[in-house]
Amino acid sequence: MSNIEQSSTAFNRFQNLWSSYADLRNAAAILEWDQLVNMPPGGSEARGEQLATLNRIAHEHLVSETMADAIAQAEASEGRPDRPQTATQAALRVARREHDRARRVPADLIAEMARTTTAAYTAWEAARSEDRFTLFAPLLARLIDLARERADALGHQGERYDALLGDQEPGLRTSQLRALFAEVDRGLQPLLQSITDRPQPGRPLFHRTVPESEQLEAGRWAVTAFGFRWRDGRQDRSTHPFMTSFAPGDVRMTTRLSADDFASGFFATLHECGHALYEQGIPDAYRRTPLAQVPSLSLHESQSRLWENCVGRSLPFWKYFQPQLARCSGTFRNASAEDLWRACNRVHRSLIRVEADEVTYHLHISLRFELELALLSGDLPVSDLPEAWNDASVRYLGLRPSNDHEGVLQDVHWSGGGFAAFPSYSLGNILTGIWMEAAESELGNLDRQITEGDFRPLLQFLRHAIHSRGGWDTTEELVQRVSGGPLTPEPYLRRLRVKFNELYDL
Amino acid sequence: MSNIEQSSTAFNRFQNLWSSYADLRNAAAILEWDQLVNMPPGGSEARGEQLATLNRIAHEHLVSETMADAIAQAEASEGRPDRPQTATQAALRVARREHDRARRVPADLIAEMARTTTAAYTAWEAARSEDRFTLFAPLLARLIDLARERADALGHQGERYDALLGDQEPGLRTSQLRALFAEVDRGLQPLLQSITDRPQPGRPLFHRTVPESEQLEAGRWAVTAFGFRWRDGRQDRSTHPFMTSFAPGDVRMTTRLSADDFASGFFATLHECGHALYEQGIPDAYRRTPLAQVPSLSLHESQSRLWENCVGRSLPFWKYFQPQLARCSGTFRNASAEDLWRACNRVHRSLIRVEADEVTYHLHISLRFELELALLSGDLPVSDLPEAWNDASVRYLGLRPSNDHEGVLQDVHWSGGGFAAFPSYSLGNILTGIWMEAAESELGNLDRQITEGDFRPLLQFLRHAIHSRGGWDTTEELVQRVSGGPLTPEPYLRRLRVKFNELYDL
């Protein structure tokens, strides 16, 4: 039985199989959410076993001969054009891709990666806390070897990074990223230079002690205004904020609060809400089908950053939200909308990616992209990585880390075998420029709507243009649909220039 | 790889398969806990699908030819005596039983039962709220037919109730229950009569408004004193209190609070804690093995009722707990230990099972047992059930319901196809008598330990005698091990007589 429109018997047979696979994946996601939000410490070992079993069974289901046959039969019956014309064709394109990729990687390699990442995470934690990169180096070297093996198993045309990029960004090429990122670097460097030449604002307004209940209340007020449906989701607290979805009607976001930094928890809340709004906007008819899966990490990230940065860090938002915030918390009662807006848009060169502002963020990603490519190609031996990182920090950010803790050891990603994931964050930012330009051209005075606290037109636009498509399109196809043009960083750079010219009186 | 001691290759192969089955079952339990504790309303439909898939895959795994073969090979290798001598034999006995029972019931019948119970639950809710039994009657009749079919599929020697009883009480016969229950009825009726002849205490002490935070605090204080390990579990709130376990290190209990009845939430908390202590006491080495499963519902219920009634409703407990309660809540500051003890032990004839006291509770069960037998045998047509219920109420409880809401429609069990489940509640009470007598004879002055708030000796006794056995023994085998004698209600009746003679000055 299919949730997708009229379809053939062959498609229904495929969809039946896929439903079980989707249920297993979502069940695993529920176990993971619980692990991070509720699980008592004593449950940890058993939970690892339960997740391993669910993931193994889901994988076996996906790569089974039954599934292979069902996909092939459904393709024969529904047609398989390059660009899907129907929902069933689009669903099959996603399924084919996921099935083929899963089958290409040998079980031994998957097992070896799982073992190595477990050891590597422990080594990374130790290296980081002792500031000794050498503790992590051998495992990182092994992970790079395994990533190469995996890239070769997945298949590529010379550029291994392409294969790995496919985990997050189906269809995107490394060569495209190189060109895109170079263009963004060229746009941001002069902007950053102009800003840092200007006098900096005074004390950071948000660094005051705000009771947790008031922080939560402010965040909930904002995400409710954005349109988060509490009937179809919830918010909890966890060490690291994240969003996960088990169905369009059950979307969970978490946040963390910092006692003496209101902005940290508040913008994490807006960010996760952006992810959550996307998931809540996927049509319920796509539930358990391949179309319930979001096409790329960058697309997801573009939703979180749109609400966090393009909305949440805008002056119109603070004009609307200043009185609401004053209602939730007395702490900022005397701050004007403009004070608050300036406070959440301070730009400065810094070493830590996760603390970076909108202008410098991408430079952290370019640095990682450059080094990942060099590591994977073998041009950069792991032993030279810390020095290469520090040199690149000077080139991209104008700062040299004084130790590896604030340098090469700051991110967890590589220890989990996650190469080629960082670019999605920048791509997400780049995409926000395209979506916002399209929204403004369709909605007219978006700023006024936001100032009035009316976020419905923007959400409706995103629902219609992006969320309701689910997994239909690749990222580039969706850009084409929405903007009529190719994936370009120009709108993104334009927005930043306008915003920071105003903020810094450039 | 087995968590159970040294074992054969064949057993290890079996245990490997069983681990996946256990993981799937525990994953489903996590989804169910989340559904009742956290899930937003919008997640309901997807959750139903996810649970159906997990349960289906777990069932397929259990009844598979691979499992059948693995069990048979392991039995051949480990031996299969009537009474297991080793942990591997005990594990295989549990697995054999579960596997055989699951294979005997045809998939069509399972599906038909699932469909019918869904409709029956809705019909029962409607019948109850409109006080019209006829709305529920046809579905109840259908469920009885299906229960008969299922009993025949499971196999029995003439008494269908035996087969159904096996769901909760492996090895127990209906004929044993008849004799046990008749003896308890004969013991309780005169006690109840003597009590109701005495003057009743005044206003119910616990019916005062107590802030929820104070109620929670009091409950948490008590269960912490009992020995609940918070590292290996948690407590939440839900509409109906329940306990569930995903591993000995992850045991979850819930409670509900009533704004104007402290006792309701407090004793629910102690009750669920009793269940939880059992699960936390199952050896971690049994995790994912058949021995992690508790042998019977009555055994589980005996643990909850021991802590709720034998401990929580005892004078020694209130001597210990009165000052602790005064610390948690000012509401009962002026009540003495004896006041509190009397308040939680008021005996009166009533129509509603879940509100019944220790003396009348069993009579509600005897009533249901009698009627279930008559329904299943066909001696009692469904159309005559309400009248039969009301007549039986007079016989057992001395009261006639004025409507079906407080009569035959009060319990949810039958609407879920749950026949032969009520007796386990009474059996659990009967077992508490045996455990407490054994504990007292081993520990010496248990009353003094409880008065001093030292619950460790009692918990250690239960851990050693019962919890650490996991699924080794049938209920009767365990009674034999602990008491050296057969399953008898005498210790239970003796305890009640001593307690209520003192309370009512008989």
ipTM for the predicted complex: 0.94
Closest to B473 (Cα-Cα) out of B75, B180, B85, B7: B85
Cα–Cα distance measured from residue A493 to residue A426, given in angstroms and rounded to the nearest whole number: 12
From chain B, the residues in CB contact with A247 under 8 A are: 42-43, 45-47
pLDDT at A506: 86
On whether residue B169 sits in a domain, the answer given is no
Q: Is the pLDDT of residue A188 over 80?
A: yes
Q: Touching check for A42 and chain B: CB below 8 Å? A: yes
Residue at a domain's end among B423, B451, B473:
B423
**pLDDT value at position B374?**
97
- Closest CA of chain B from A421, distance in Å: 30
Domain membership of residue A241 (yes or no) is yes
- Span A232-248, pLDDT tens digits: 999 999 999 999 999 99
B188 and B148 housed in the same domain:
no
Going by pLDDT thresholds of 50, 70 and 90, the confidence category of residue A1 is: very low
Site from A17, A18, A19, A30 to mutate, B interface, most B CB atoms within 10 angstroms: A30
Contact by Cβ (8 Å): A291, A476? no
Answer whether residue B329 is part of any domain: yes
A155, part of any domain: no
A409-414 contact pairs (CB < 8 A, 24+): A409/A124, A409/A127, A409/A128, A409/A131, A409/A133, A409/A136, A410/A128, A410/A351, A410/A352, A410/A353, A410/A354, A411/A353, A411/A368, A412/A121, A412/A124, A414/A120, A414/A124, A414/A140, A414/A143
Q: What is the CATH number of the domain that holds A327?
A: 1.10.1370.30
Pair (A291, A440) in one structural domain: yes
Whether residue B325 is found in the same domain as residue B451:
yes
Instruction: Determine the pLDDT at residue B204.
Output: 80
pLDDT classification of A280: cutoffs 50, 70, 90: very high
Please check the confidence at residue A444 and state whether its pLDDT lies above 50: yes
- B292 shares its domain with B392: no
Tell me whether residues B43 and A246 touch, CB distance under 8 A.
yes
Tell me the pLDDT band of A2, cut-offs 50, 70 and 90. Answer: very low
Taking an 8 Å cut-off on Cβ atoms, the answer to whether B232 and A39 are in contact is no
The whole-angstrom distance between B43's CA and the closest CA on chain A is 5
B3 in helix, strand or coil? coil
Walk along chain B (506 residues) and give the pLDDT tens digit of each residue.
345 666 799 999 999 999 999 999 999 999 999 999 999 999 999 999 999 999 999 999 999 999 999 999 999 999 999 899 999 999 999 999 999 999 999 999 999 999 999 999 999 999 999 999 999 999 999 999 999 999 999 999 989 999 999 999 999 999 999 999 999 999 999 999 999 999 877 678 898 899 999 999 999 999 999 999 999 999 999 999 999 999 999 999 999 999 889 999 999 999 999 999 999 999 999 999 999 999 899 999 999 999 999 999 999 999 999 999 999 988 999 999 999 999 999 999 999 999 999 999 999 999 999 999 999 999 999 999 999 999 999 999 999 999 999 999 999 999 999 999 999 999 999 999 999 999 999 999 999 999 999 999 999 999 999 999 999 999 999 999 999 999 999 999 999 999 999 999 88
- For the annotated catalytic residues of B, the residue numbers are 272
Q: A129 in contact with B at a CB cutoff of 8 Å?
A: no
Check whether residue B274 and residue B318 sit in a common domain. Answer: yes
Q: Which of B23, B31, B53 sits opposite A49 (nearest CB)?
A: B23
Sign of the four-CA dihedral A305, A308, A311, A313: negative
A234 has a chain B CB within 8 A of its CB: yes
Of B341, B263, B303, B318, the closest CA to residue B500 belongs to: B341
- Indicate if B325 and B444 belong to the same structural domain: yes
Please give the tally of structural domains in chain A: 2
Whether A1 and chain B come into contact, CB under 8 Å, resolves to no
Coil, strand or helix: which one is B235? strand
Query: Which DSSP letter does residue A3 get?
Result: S
- With 50 as the cut, is the pLDDT of residue A317 above it? yes
Chain B residues touching A246 at Cβ < 8 A: 43, 46-47, 50
Q: Determine the Cα–Cα distance for residues A70 and A17; give it in Å rounded to an integer.
A: 8
Size of interface A-B (CB pairs under 8 A): 128
- Give yes or no for A108 touching B (CB within 8 A): no
Q: What is the DSSP string of A10-32?
A: HHHHHHHHHHHHHHHHHHHHHHH
Distance CA A181, CA A414 (A): 21
Residue type, A166: G
The total number of residues written for chain A in this structure = 506
A52-91 tens-digit pLDDT: 999 999 999 999 999 999 999 999 999 999 899 999 999 9
- Contact (CB<8Å) A27/B41: no
Do residues B38 and B107 both lie within one domain? yes
Is A99 within a domain?
yes
Report yes or no on B244 lying in a domain.
yes
Q: Do A319 and A463 lie in a common domain? A: yes
Average pLDDT over residues A13-37: 97
Q: Looking at the domain assignment, is residue B207 inside a domain?
A: no
Strand partners, A252: A234, A244
Same domain, A222 and A339: yes
Give dist(CA A385, CA A279) in Å, integer.
Answer: 38
- pLDDT value at residue A6: 67
The answer as to whether B168 is a domain residue is no
Residue B360's domain comprises 174-201+351-423
Cβ atoms B22, B238 nearer than 8 A? no
Distances (CA, A) of A269 to A216, A309, A427, B197: 9, 12, 21, 64
Ordered DSSP codes for A406-422: TTTTS-SGGGGT--S-H
A152 to chain B nearest CA, in Å?
Answer: 32
Residues B220 and B120 in one domain: no
Written as one letter, the residue type at A92 is L
Kindly report the average pLDDT of chain A as a whole number.
95
| pLDDT the model gives residue B452 | 97
- Domain end position, chosen among B423, B443, B468: B423
One domain for residues B243 and B131: no
* Shared-domain flag, residues B227 and B329: yes
Which of B16, B18, B23 would best serve as a mutation to test chain A binding (most A beta carbons within 10 A)? B23
Structural domain ending residue among the three candidates B368, B401, B423: B423
Does residue A477 carry a catalytic annotation? no
